[in-house]
Structure 1
Amino acid sequence: MAKYRRLHMDELEKLEKEFVRFLAAQSITAADYQNILVADPQKQMELIDRFSDVVLTKTLSNIKILEQKTPKRLIYFTFYKDHATLHGFELAESQETDLTTYNHPEQIIQYIITHPLHINWLKGTKPYRKEKSEEIFEVLENNCLIVQDDAVYQFILQKLDHAEQ
């Protein structure tokens, strides 16, 4: 059984060359693998699970920040060596704004600037209870996205720093 999850067929197809190298590292030739496909489907699934773990472990090790956006809340999870931090905000109940409709960082930043009284700032730190990669995987599975553009995250950090002073 995979530590995280088994890669989907479309993911495996995109990683075909890497899978072949993985099999070679296990001393499994193309002919051997064809025999496994026919004679031992259980072993095939075990190999795919192990390959999935290798791929996902490498991917998860490169993740630094995840974003979770709901209609009323925007949270960033930052992963460090032995702990994770949470920075973000939630909208006051009275606000009818849906943050999921804001597709550009500038829109969110502008909302924060123009509606400061309708924002409740969130901040926290949590030590890992499991391996770092497992913690990241769990957060990622809860409707989070890997942060590509950290403009909003940096802006939120500045706002939180000013709020503490």
Structure 2
Amino acid sequence: MKYRRLRTDELEELQPEFVRFLAANQVTAEDWEKLKANDAGKAEQLIALFSDIVFDKVLSGVEYLEYKAPQDLKTFRFLEDKAVMNGLRVEGETSMDLTQNQSVEQLMQQLQLSGASLKLYSAEKKYTKTKEMEAFLLMEAGALISKDGALYKALESLKK
């Protein structure tokens, strides 16, 4: 297994796709029930294979990820040979929480009232594993997929 087995709730969400996967592998609903009852190892192998297929498909399309902590925001862009990270850290005492869905105006107001400051930082990393595995590991640590990369692009524009 390349990644991890899909959790039960994830499998339930992908039930139609899993049924198609089983059908493509010539496993009928009746066969599946027999497998689960009589050959749990084979059933787990099929789930593992399906899990890898799902993760491969999702991860191959990932270009941007975001990781938010109360005082630190990291955005990632996955290029062909490396990942680029742009981050924003709150320095100093403040009640500012970057995980909350607040407007920029609200965040700036909190920042001004507290006397804290923002620090923009960035880094690049050449892949030591596949691009997909690097993205997977970040996602397992709490990063979320960003469809449009707007936050990454906003931080990128501040670097200029």
Query: TM-score range, shorter-chain basis?
Result: 0.7 to 0.9
- Of 108, 112, 120 in structure 2, the residue corresponding to residue 111 of structure 1 is 108
Query: What is the total number of aligned residue pairs between the two structures?
Result: 157
Do the aligned partners of residues 10 and 108 (structure 1) sit closer, same or farther apart at CA in structure 2, a change above 3 Å counting? farther
Cα pair 2:64 2:145 within 8 Å, conserved: yes
Cα pair 2:75 2:151 within 8 Å, conserved: no
Q: Which residue of 2 aligns with 1:100?
A: 99
Q: Which residue of 2 aligns with 1:138?
A: 137
> For residue 3 of structure 1, what is the amino acid of its counterpart?
K
Does 2:44 align with 1:49? no
Do the aligned partners of residues 109 and 148 (structure 1) sit closer, same or farther apart at CA in structure 2, a change above 3 Å counting? farther
> For residue 26 of structure 2, what is the amino acid of its counterpart?
S
Cα pair 1:74 1:88 within 8 Å, conserved: yes
> For residue 108 of structure 2, what is the amino acid of its counterpart?
Y
CA distance in 1, matches of 2:60, 2:148: 18
Q: Which residue of 2 aligns with 1:35?
A: 34
Q: Percent identity?
A: 37
Q: Which residue of 1 aligns with 2:25?
A: 26
Cα pair 1:71 1:98 within 8 Å, conserved: yes
Is there any run of 5+ residues in structure 2 with no aligned partner, and where?
none
CA distance in 1, matches of 2:121, 2:8: 39
Give CA-to-partner distance per residue, 1:53-96, whole Å, 9 cap, x none. Answer: 11111111122111111111111011111110000211113444
Cα pair 1:4 1:137 within 8 Å, conserved: yes
Moved more, 143-152 or 50-59: 143-152
Cα pair 1:108 1:152 within 8 Å, conserved: no
Give CA-to-partner distance per residue, 1:82-135, whole Å, 9 cap, x none. Answer: 11000021111344422223x04x4279639x76x8121111110111111111
Is there any run of 5+ residues in structure 1 with no aligned partner, and where?
none
CA distance in 2, matches of 1:108, 1:39: 60
Cα pair 1:95 1:118 within 8 Å, conserved: no
User: What's the TM-score once normalised by structure 2's chain length?
Assistant: 0.85
Q: Which residue of 1 aligns with 2:64?
A: 65
- The alpha carbon displacement at 1:153 in A equals 2.5
> For residue 35 of structure 1, what is the amino acid of its counterpart?
K
Does 2:116 align with 1:128? no
Task: Tell me the C-alpha RMSD between the 2 structures.
Answer: 2.4
User: What's the TM-score once normalised by structure 1's chain length?
Assistant: 0.83
Q: Which residue of 2 aligns with 1:81?
A: 80
